[in-house]
Chain A
Amino acid sequence: MARAGGISNPVNVGIAVQADWENREFISNISLNVRRLFEFLLQFEATTKSKLASLNEKLDVLERKLEVLEVQVSSATINPSVFN
């Protein structure tokens, strides 16, 4: 933009510098927001992973309990004398 207006003119140089600073400010704002977004994504990933892990653990416990119950019921049905 500075080349378009001519470097020799000091007014054009001042305008170009101002525009450059505005662009830099915009880029810094954008990068800051992207960083915040990235941090949110990291935090969200961590919380989601922990919740999924707890859910998986619950399901494992339920699966084991179910196996134990199945074995107990099958033993009771095989040996009816237990309930006689």
Chain B
Amino acid sequence: MEKSENEKPEAKAGAISVAPVSRCSSFLCSEATTEAEQFEGSLRELKDLRSQLHQAADYCEDAFLKEEKKKMILDSTKSYICDAIVAVIDHLGTVSSKLELELCNISKASQTEQKMDLLSQRLLMCQQFTVTAELATIQYREKLPQHHHRYVSDGQILKQHDSSSSNREEGGCQKLMDSYREEKLGLSGRLQRTECGKEQLMILTPSSRLKDSHKFGGDDKKKVQQGSNFLAFLSKNRKKSQLLRRRVG
């Protein structure tokens, strides 16, 4: 731009020459500056080129209107336009290539991502270590609470209670069934929660009528009565046989 302003008086004097466009791209600049500074410099040159071209166009228009040698001015203007377009393309190519390189060479994001992945892996390792340490403290307990088999009900009842303990919603229904069973059997059995966490139906205080070995239910009562009748029948037979032996003897 300074060159064009300096050459204006010469053109007015008769030598029709238009200021040459500065084609010094940033590739030719000093290598000491960093790439970012070069990019900013090339952008600044491109911005300056715009005003330079406007001033050159005004100058060519004035010279064409005022001077007599219009063909010479026209030819010089044409050559100047060609040079200007080439210079603009050169600047644009420089800026675009530098921007492209800058965008491609951005590796800080990937490096930061790798560092963060490393940190997350370390955290996960710490968590796994703590979990394994916690698991090592837990030991298996072999001495489970054992009850005599006569105090333990059937497996079906146990299964029902297991399922009821797992399903809390059915707990109320199960309690109602237990109370109904107690009323029906006349037993004072009740549920006791063992140390394992499972519920077991245990007869803590069996009734005086039915002793330890008896099960609950109406059929069991009948069986007990039948057994007592059978014992009475046996004792009667024994007495009869003893009387017969005495008589024979």
Residues of A that sit less than 8 Å from B by CB: 1, 4, 23, 26, 30, 33-34, 37, 40-41, 44, 48, 51-52, 55, 58-59, 62, 65-66, 69, 72-73, 76, 82-84
With known contacts A1-B70, A65-B116, A84–B130 Cβ distance under 8 A: yes
Within 8 A of A (CB), among B123-168: 123, 126-127, 129-130
Tell me what chain A mostly uses at the interface: helix, strand, loop, or mixed.
Answer: helix
Q: Check if A26 sits within 8 Å of B78, measured CB to CB.
A: yes
Tell me what chain B mostly uses at the interface: helix, strand, loop, or mixed.
Answer: helix
Q: Check if A55 sits within 8 Å of B113, measured CB to CB.
A: no
In the complex, number of A-B residue pairs with CB atoms less than 8 Å apart: 50
Name the contact of A83 in the complex, choosing from B89, B109, B130 (C-beta under 8 A): B130
Chain A residues with Cβ below 8 Å from B127 are 82
Chain B residues with Cβ below 8 Å from A33 are 85
| A to B CB contacts below 8 Å, 12 in the list | A1-B70, A30-B81, A30-B82, A33-B85, A37-B85, A37-B92, A41-B92, A55-B109, A62-B112, A65-B113, A69-B120, A76-B126
User: Nearest chain B CB to A12's CB is how many angstroms away?
Assistant: 13
Q: Check if A37 sits within 8 Å of B123, measured CB to CB.
A: no
User: Nearest chain A CB to B132's CB is how many angstroms away?
Assistant: 12
Residues of B that sit less than 8 Å from A by CB: 70-71, 74, 78, 81-82, 85, 88-89, 92, 96, 99, 103, 106, 109, 112-113, 116, 119-120, 123, 126-127, 129-130
Residue of A nearest to B133 (CB): A84
Residue of A nearest to B93 (CB): A40
With known contacts A1-B70, A62-B109, A65-B116, A40–B92 Cβ distance under 8 A: yes
Chain B residues with Cβ below 8 Å from A72 are 123
Bound together, the chains give a CA A51 to CA B78 distance in angstroms of: 38
Bound together, the chains give a CA A69 to CA B115 distance in angstroms of: 11
Chain B residues with Cβ below 8 Å from A48 are 99, 103
User: Nearest chain B CB to A38's CB is how many angstroms away?
Assistant: 11
Name the contact of A69 in the complex, choosing from B116, B129, B130 (C-beta under 8 A): B116
Chain A residues with Cβ below 8 Å from B88 are 37
Q: Check if B126 sits within 8 Å of A58, measured CB to CB.
A: no
Chain A residues with Cβ below 8 Å from B120 are 65, 69
Residue of B nearest to A29 (CB): B82
Chain A residues with Cβ below 8 Å from B99 are 48
Chain A residues with Cβ below 8 Å from B85 are 30, 33-34, 37
Bound together, the chains give a CA A40 to CA B85 distance in angstroms of: 14
Bound together, the chains give a CA A4 to CA B70 distance in angstroms of: 10
Q: Check if A73 sits within 8 Å of B81, measured CB to CB.
A: no
Bound together, the chains give a CA A62 to CA B112 distance in angstroms of: 8
Q: Check if B89 sits within 8 Å of A73, measured CB to CB.
A: no
Chain B residues with Cβ below 8 Å from A62 are 109, 112-113, 116
Q: Check if A44 sits within 8 Å of B126, measured CB to CB.
A: no
